[in-house]
Amino acid sequence: MPGKVLTIGNVRGLSESDIPVLQQEHGKNSFQLEKPRQLLHILADIVREPMFILLMIACAIYFILGQSTEGIMMLVAICFVAAISLYQDVRSTRALEALKQYTAPEVRVIRDGIEKEIRTEELVPGDVIILEEGNKVPADATIIQQNDLSVNESAITGESMPAEKDETSGKNSLYQGTTVNTGKCYAIITATGNNTLLGKVGKTVSTITAPKTLLQNQVNRFVRQLAIFGITAFLIIWLVNYLKIGLAIQSLLFALTLAMAAIPEEIPVAFSSFLALGAWQMSRLGIITRQPQTIENLGAVDVICLDKTGTITENKMSVKTIYDFEKDTFIEAGERLKDSNVLRFGVMASERAPFDPMEKAIHEAYQLYSGYQMHELPKQVYEYPLQGIPPMMTHIFYENNTHVAAAKGAPERIIRACKLNAGEATQILKQASAQAQKGYRVIGVASAVHKEKEFPPEQDDFNWKFEGLLCLYDPPRKNISQVIKQFYDAGLHIKLLTGDFAETAVNICQQVGITGYLKYVTGDQVLQMHENELKKAVEEISLYVRMFPEAKQKVVNALKSNDHIVAMTGDGVNDAPALKASDIGIALGKKGTEMARQAADLIITDDDPAKVVEAIKQGRKIFNNLKKAIRYIISIHIPIILTASVPLLLGWKYPNIFTPVHVIFLELIMGPTCSVFFEREPVEEQLMLRPPRKRSPGLFQQDELFISIIQGLLITTGVLWTYYFSMYLGDTLPETRTMVFNTLIISNIILTFTNRSFTENITRTILYKNNLAPWVIFISIAFLTVLQLVTPVQEIFGLAPLTATRFLLCTGVAFISVAWFEMYKTHQYKPEKPLIRHKQE
């Protein structure tokens, strides 16, 4: 139904000077369902961790056995472990809080008589807000004035059909969490935060626990499997030791050594910190992620669906040509268009204060070329909103004691409404097609005179007269061709989804380098296709024209059902369903609508499509570095576990070479290496020239896990060889332990640098810019020096001095145990090996 035109008087709204007092009284407009996580909560979580519990048990056993030095050492180690966990937790928490600030939605308000945008959490009762189609209602409010307003209240009532709203009692209430479906309104805030209806019934998004992602489940399953192994090995070692020495507490201490070695507590820490810190770092590049888990899918994106307007083009339209149907002639922009009814009715059918780039261009052309100003137009009294497939919109004016209607929309819809004969329709569509081939966006314009008092229920029912066509041009972005090439180089498939004519879309594809444009389907065809037919079509078709929201969403869902990871870009209200349906919705934050931003997973703050390439690059980097960290943990845990268990099971002379003191020290090395060093690793040079990773049930591909296990077993071989060699020569337990401990530490250092890449050898990785790399080398050398020269430290760890020859032997064994992987990479990943390139269609 049509509605009256919205005109608001001199509303001043609240004064900025009153806001602090009102915020103090009512609080922030946000849900406070639980208290923020404080330092004590973080410490409580650390204390409940399995590793912390094992450390405390080991510490208590040392004191029970009277080994106070070792007990004190364990206490110091516990403090270090807690400090590392606390540091990582605080970093992640701060990063997430920073993300919340970046992604906070905004709303337009009137304060001190000035219209401005503020964060929704800053709203207070009494604020006057302005809402338009696509906006989410930020707090409970009462409508002051409205124009053709309907609201989707499914978040509150569960009713899917929009509710009509006006200023009358019973229909003038707006509720937080609902969405403006059509129209525009001014409303005054009545309740905020927990005092809103949504807050009282507890239906806030904050109460919903998001399901765990595939990667989270994979990591949790992997850690759980290792934990089960650790518990089993712990019981076996305890039993074997007890049967050999008959001392339950001493046996428990040795068993705890193995349990501590087996539990990979670094992996969950690395997982959470990599995603949180990665998302925060991306935000500094102008790429805002709503949830850190979004990064999980970024590296796996293999299809990107692009919206034309605003993504590929500059979203800066201008009127280029006008086709006057009555005169059957074209009028080029730049000539005086004073007598052009097409342009005049096009302006009348547009919003008086336009926000859409197309309507802005029509306004500019009217004022620039026609010689008229906007205030010279007649008074608008009613409007029909943009609706239908294809869409059209109508405004009604009162002029010379009669009502005049002006409409604009898709040419085929305007032709249908005007009830033109077949010959006329063919003529108009031929002209529209010719202009579309030039890359122009073509809009049909019509007018009608209405003498009756009542307006028809549908805008198509006026006695329409076809006026002509408005042809607008939106040039491609300057850098878009390079962006398209980078997508193809990264192995991504591009799908262009646009509402324009096929000819316009083909022209744009040719200009920017999108391939596969010779075949296309329309939005109507998409809706008519059977599910299986569409699933086949989306694999073959790259161009989709005359698309509307339902069709875009259906294409995205079909791609997902084919096991693609789909990213979708968009900036308009009509893009929101497809943005929400895709694996990663990417909204343009500068010119995009609030609805698009709220539906998206990623927001590009400066609307630069090159940032989409950067987002995918960062997603690949973060996932790649996370896998490096986890594979490093697997490789280095294997020798610790086997060195702590194999000699006992084989009955060697020194069956328990390690104690909890040694293992906790190794954990202090591995933890920061895993979660800090690898997190800082840069993007590998060839990462964006490789195909996207495949989404699979397991965390690793079979060959990846196999290589990491081989690394661990070869380090184990080297360590155990040193172990046996020292015993064979008749060395004492401290001397043997020193040989083993040094070999393991040196192996760890070399493994850290070898695992910086699983495809590039060290001649390239040594050039990677990671400011922690020199510190890893310095601290490692310093500690090895302390172990060799400082007697008190040797006594704490139960070590003995090593000769230079013995130290070189440990270094050589460690080098051979790890460095083989460099030769493997050189042979397996030769530089001349072709990278995945896009096959031109």
- Map 138-160 to HEC letters: CCEEEEEEEEEEEEECHHHHCCC
Q: Which helix (H) or strand (E) holds 287?
A: strand 287-289
- Is 247 inside any structural domain? no
Task: Copy the structure tokens of residue 101.
Answer: 């600030």
CATH number at residue 180: 2.70.150.10
- Is 71 inside any structural domain? no
Write the pLDDT tens digit of every residue in 590-648: 666 666 777 788 888 888 888 889 888 888 888 888 888 888 888 888 898 888 888 88
Residues 529 and 642 in one domain: no
What integer is the mean pLDDT of 126-150? 86
- Is 73 inside any structural domain? no
Asked if 155 contacts 203 with a C-beta cutoff of 8 angstroms, the reply is yes
CATH number at residue 506: 3.40.50.1000
Span of 165-179, 608-622, 697-711, 776-790 with lowest mean pLDDT: 697-711
Residues 538 and 652 in one domain: no
CA distance 510 to 100: 40
Kindly report the average pLDDT of the chain as a whole number: 81
* Domains of the chain: total: 4
Q: Which helix (H) or strand (E) holds 412?
A: helix 411-418
- Is 408 inside any structural domain? yes
Domain range spanning residue 789? Answer: 618-828
Higher pLDDT, 826 or 596: 826
CA distance 452 to 403: 8
CA dihedral 541, 542, 548, 550 (to 10 degrees): 60
CATH number at residue 362: 3.40.1110.10
Span of 296-300, 455-459, 523-527, 810-814 with lowest mean pLDDT: 296-300
Q: Which helix (H) or strand (E) holds 385?
A: strand 379-387
pLDDT of residue 62: 66
DSSP string, 444-468: EEEEEEE-SSSPPSSGGGS--EEEE
Residues 331 and 297 in one domain: no
What integer is the mean pLDDT of 732-736? 93
Computed from CA positions of residues 350, 352, 354, 357, in that sequence, does the dihedral angle turn out positive or negative?
positive
pLDDT of residue 85: 63
Residues 138 and 169 in one domain: yes
- Is 59 inside any structural domain? no
- Across the beta sheet with 379-387, the strand order is 3-4, 379-387, 392-399, 402-409, 441-450, 465-473, 318-324, 329-332
pTM: 0.73
Closest residue by Cα to residue 361 from 277, 518, 473, 279? 473
Residues 705 and 585 in one domain: no
Task: Copy the structure tokens of residue 298.
Answer: 């970024």
Buried b (16+ CB within 10 A) or exposed e, 467-505: bbbbbbbbebbeebeebbebbbbbbbbbbbbbbbbbbbb
- Is 235 inside any structural domain? no
Write the pLDDT tens digit of every residue in 341-355: 898 899 999 887 776
Residues 394 and 345 in one domain: yes
Task: Copy the structure tokens of residue 406.
Answer: 């002006």
Beta bridge partners of 493: 303
Write the pLDDT tens digit of every residue in 439-498: 898 999 999 999 888 899 899 999 999 999 999 998 888 889 999 999 999 999 999 998
Residue 2 confidence (pLDDT) above 50: no
CA distance 30 to 419: 52
Asked if 189 contacts 121 with a C-beta cutoff of 8 angstroms, the reply is no
Which band of pLDDT confidence, cut at 50, 70 and 90, is reported for residue 206? very low
Residues 440 and 575 in one domain: no
* Domain edge (last residue) among 207, 224, 250: 207
Closest residue by Cα to residue 347 from 414, 397, 399? 397
Residue 9 confidence (pLDDT) above 70: no
Write the pLDDT tens digit of every residue in 394-418: 999 988 888 999 999 999 999 999 9
Residues 733 and 798 in one domain: yes
Q: Which residues contact 476 (CB under 8 A, 6 or more apart)?
A: 312, 313, 314, 508, 511, 512
- Is 111 inside any structural domain? yes
Residues 465 and 498 in one domain: no
Write the pLDDT tens digit of every residue in 223-233: 677 667 767 77
Asked if 202 contacts 181 with a C-beta cutoff of 8 angstroms, the reply is no
Write the pLDDT tens digit of every residue in 537-548: 999 999 999 888
Please, where are the H alpha helices in 137-247? 154-157, 197-201, 214-245
Residues 703 and 816 in one domain: yes
Which 3 state secondary structure label does DSSP give 635?
helix
Which band of pLDDT confidence, cut at 50, 70 and 90, is reported for residue 125? very high
- Is 202 inside any structural domain? yes
Burial of 690 per CB tally in 10 Å (0-12, 13-18, 19+): middle
Residue 57 confidence (pLDDT) above 50: yes
Residues 771 and 698 in one domain: yes
Residues 403 and 493 in one domain: no
Residue 835 confidence (pLDDT) above 60: no
* Domain edge (last residue) among 420, 443, 473: 473
Residue 252's φ and ψ, nearest 5 degrees, are -65, -40
* Domain edge (last residue) among 142, 173, 207: 207
CA distance 399 to 481: 49
Write the pLDDT tens digit of every residue in 60-118: 766 776 667 666 766 776 676 667 666 656 665 665 555 455 555 788 899 988 888 88
